[in-house]
Each structure stands twice: as C-alpha cells, then as structure tokens.
C-alpha cells in the first residue's frame, strides 16, 4: 500500500513534469502516447502509412496503463486513412489522440498526406511511401488536484494552464506483401515551455520523438498460417535542440524503447501475438525491462476488427501495478475485395 501511495503521488505530478515548470533542474521525458497494439494505429506516429491498406481503414484504441494506480495514464486514439479516389499514388488520413496523465491532459489532432511510388508492376516489388502531417496539441492541467507543499510557489499560481502547440512531421514507409520498414519523426518542433510561463526560470520542453519499425510475414502453410516478427524502436530527443550554449540540458534524455513482437496469423482472421518491451539509456550501460505483453485480434467477414492486449509489468513498478490493458475496435472497408485480390499483412 505504501508503494501504491508513493506512485500515485508521482503520477499526480507526472503531467506537470512533462510540460510545465516544477523543478530547478533539467526535465525531459517521452511525451508521445504508448501503445502495445501500435500496428493497428501506425498512422499516429508515421504519416507515410496513409493509404497503405489500399482501402478505407479506421481504428479506435483505448489504453489503461498501470491499473490500480490513481492517476495512471489513460489514452485513446482514433485514426482513419484511405487512398485518394482517382489518384492511386496519393493517401490521406487523420488521427486524434487523447492522453490523461495525473492532472494533465493532452489532445492532439493531425492530418496526414502520403505520396506512394510503386517500385514495379509486380506486387512483390513493393511500394515506398513518403508522408507529411500537420496538426496541433492542446495541453492543459488542473493544478487544484495537486497537494502543493509551498502555496507561494509561482509555478502553481495559474490553476488551469492551457497551451496550444502547433506541430508538423514526416515519415517514410516501404511495404510489400511480406515485409515493411518505416521511419518517422511525427513532431519536429520542440516547444520551450519556459517561454509560455515567464514567471519562472525552470527548464521544461516538449521532446522530438524518432520511430523506426520493421517486420516480416513468413508463410508456413500458404496464406492460411503466417508468422510475423516485428520490432518498434522509439527514442525521444536524441538530436534535440535543447542542448544549448549554456549546457543547461546536456546529459538529459529518455531511454530508447524497444518493442519486440512475434505473432501468428491464422487464415487471415485470427491474429495472436506476444511482445517484450525494454529500454536502453543512450551512452550508458543501463537498461530496464518494462513488460511482457500478450494480445489478440479477430477480423470478421464484414470487415469489423476486434482486439485486446494485456501487459504484465516486470519492472520495479510491479510493486504498485502489475498490468496495463488495451481494447481495439476497427473496420476495414472493402475487406472482402482486397482479401480476394491480394492479402495484406501490415
């Protein structure tokens, strides 16, 4: 119970730590939303994914992280994308991500555009897609929920701070029937939140995130049984502009996160998998194991997709919370037509 109480107090301030000005030291952490079933909402971190399924596709995901901890992260995402009718090379899409962490809330909306180049007439040659996106994030906090030790602290003088943070990003995505490789920077701008609150001189800034994903599909029994290994690497502020002449932010950063995933697709309908999430701190020998995850999804004949994921915590956090979970609802329009023509595995 003591551990849970301690973690709860941390979470109540986590949102402020990420974006506002609480401590007299450098502050930096990953701020993008985390998902176990990232393969179902790839558009949220790579705009080049728009239109890649060759038909209209949408997905809604809810994630509850660190169950049992008051103020634990809760995230919802909705994404939709499609090829542009009449222009086979163009893909368009949009995404909305809502995050609640402790006392803070972030609502991000993006529009994505992708230009796709087929590398040959044969579908095995694959397609390379170059994407761009633009959008805005609204960050706000209810500081009244915090137990403040110093009532005169100027950082908490504004009880309901709210900031609008515009941004843009880009990505590249190569995919064929049996392989994909993608890289992206969904938010290029790093907003210095010290400039948004001139009453203090604390250090806080949003972080630029880098994503690299890759995977394959290995047929075992034709298209009836497919083994799919995948990996996602995410790093925050690796080449950040926060390192300035005053060396205020030198040495800061967040661990680079790795998601290793192995799954099996049965008859293009039932998809089950397991993954391992870990992290490595750049330029050091330190690393941390985060969770072991199990997930499954089922695609109905009418195009409806249902999914669920369960994360078992293996870090020290398991003293307070042993699990996180996700649920997913998706829909693939014209799924039957695409399935009969050329099955897609990504």
Domains annotated on the chain, with CATH: 2-341 (2.40.160.40)
pLDDT band at 5 (very low <50, low <70, confident <90, very high): very low
Give the pLDDT score at 25: 35
Q: Could you report the per-residue pLDDT of 98-135, keeping only the tens digit for each?
A: 998 877 888 999 999 999 999 877 667 889 999 999 99
pLDDT at 84: 87
Q: What is the pLDDT of residues 83-96, one digit of tens each?
A: 987 788 999 999 99
Query: Sign of the C-alpha dihedral, residues 330, 333, 339, 341?
Result: negative
Three-class secondary structure assignment of 309-337: EEEEECCHHHHCCCEEEEEEEEEECCHHH
Helix (H) or strand (E) holding 203: none
Q: Cα–Cα distance between 27 and 304 in angstroms, integer?
A: 42
Q: What is the pLDDT of residues 40-56, one digit of tens each?
A: 889 999 999 999 988 99
Is residue 330 predicted with pLDDT exceeding 90? Answer: yes
Note the pLDDT tens digit of each residue in 219-268: 998 888 999 999 999 988 565 554 544 445 444 556 788 899 999 999 88
pLDDT the model gives residue 29: 47
- Tell me if 16 sits within 8 A of 75, measured CB to CB: no
Average pLDDT over residues 283-295: 74
pLDDT over 70 percentage in the chain: 71
pLDDT at res. 181: 96
Determine the Cα angle at 53 with ends 51 and 57, to 5°: 80
Point out the least confidently predicted range of 184-198, 219-233, 304-318: 184-198
Average pLDDT, the chain: 78
């Amino acid at each position: 119970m003591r551990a849970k109480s301690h973690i709860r107090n941390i979470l109540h301030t986590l949102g402020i730590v990420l974006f506002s000005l609480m401590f007299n030291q450098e502050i930096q952490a990953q701020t993008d939303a985390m998902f176990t079933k990232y393969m179902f909402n790839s558009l949220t971190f790579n705009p080049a994914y728009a239109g890649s399924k060759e038909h209209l596709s949408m997905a809604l995901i809810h994630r509850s992280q660190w169950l049992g901890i008051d103020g634990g992260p809760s995230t919802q995402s909705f994404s939709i994308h499609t090829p542009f009718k009449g222009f086979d090379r163009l893909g368009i899409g949009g995404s909305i991500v809502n995050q609640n962490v402790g006392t803070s809330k972030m609502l991000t909306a993006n529009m994505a555009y992708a230009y796709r180049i087929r590398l040959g007439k044969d579908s095995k040659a694959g397609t390379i897609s170059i994407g761009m996106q633009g959008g805005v994030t609204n960050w706000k906090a209810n500081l009244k929920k915090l137990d403040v030790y110093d009532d005169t602290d100027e950082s908490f003088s504004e009880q309901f701070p709210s900031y609008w943070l515009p941004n843009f990003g880009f990505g590249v995505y190569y995919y064929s029937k049996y392989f994909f490789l993608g890289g992206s920077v969904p938010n290029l701008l790093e907003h210095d939140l010290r400039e948004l609150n001139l009453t203090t001189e604390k250090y806080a800034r949003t972080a630029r995130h880098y994503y690299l994903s890759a995977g394959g599909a290995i047929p075992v029994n034709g298209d009836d049984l497919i083994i799919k290994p995948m990996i996602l690497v995410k790093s925050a502020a690796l080449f950040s502009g926060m390192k300035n002449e005053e060396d205020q932010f030198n040495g800061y950063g967040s661990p680079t996160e790795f998601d290793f995933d192995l799954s099996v697709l049965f008859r293009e309908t039932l998809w089950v998998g397991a993954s391992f999430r870990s992290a490595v701190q750049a330029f050091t020998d330190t690393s941390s194991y985060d969770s072991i995850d199990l997930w499954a999804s089922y695609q109905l004949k009418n195009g409806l997709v249902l999914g669920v994921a369960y994360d078992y915590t293996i870090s020290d956090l398991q003293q307070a919370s042993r699990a996180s979970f996700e649920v997913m609802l998706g829909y693939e329009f014209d799924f039957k037509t695409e399935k009969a023509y050329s099955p897609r595995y990504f």
